[in-house]
Amino acid sequence: MSDLTRRRMLGRTAAAAAGIVLAGPAAQALAAEGGHDHHGHGSGHQPFDEIYEGRRIEGRLTSGSGGHHDFGIAVFVDGRPLHIMPRGNGWISVMNHYEVFASPYEVTRAAVRALRGVNLV
């Protein structure tokens, strides 16, 4: 006889529903990748490499399958990695955790402004 009780079934259903709810923002961020901002950089995974306010900013494509923190793009300020992540309506970084930006490009530029000349560590 199966040891699947009503309580276990309800628990599994609740866990599955929570997973769907939590996956929603990530799915929305991935769906938003097709858009473009006024700088010509897409709102998703588009590489970039430029000097912005005297700092070199780079966005390098990744495999997208590197696990929990691989969002398909890695960004750098002066060669140092800047941790970014998708949010339901855009991207956030460790420098601008409460402000959402349209793309990894925009969030990287905002981080440079927030650094105000200090090195990213």
pLDDT, tens digit, for every residue of 70-103?
788 999 999 999 999 998 889 999 888 889 999 9
Q: Which of 116, 10, 101, 2 is nearest to 59 (CA)?
A: 101
Decide which of 64 and 41 is more confident: 64
Q: What values do phi and psi take at 66, rounded to 5? A: -85, 15
- What residues contact residue 45 under an 8 Å CB cut-off, 6+ apart? 33, 61, 64, 71, 72, 73, 104
Range from 39-43, 52-56, 81-85, 107-111 carrying the lowest mean pLDDT: 39-43
- What residues contact residue 63 under an 8 Å CB cut-off, 6+ apart? 70, 72
Mean of per-residue pLDDT scores for the chain = 73
First vs last C-alpha separation in the chain: 57
Q: What values do phi and psi take at 2, rounded to 5? A: -70, 140
Check if the beta carbon of residue 33 is closer than 8 Å to that of residue 43.
yes
- Predicted pLDDT of residue 40: 46
Q: What values do phi and psi take at 63, rounded to 5? A: -65, -25
pLDDT band at 35 (very low <50, low <70, confident <90, very high): very low
- Predicted pLDDT of residue 3: 56
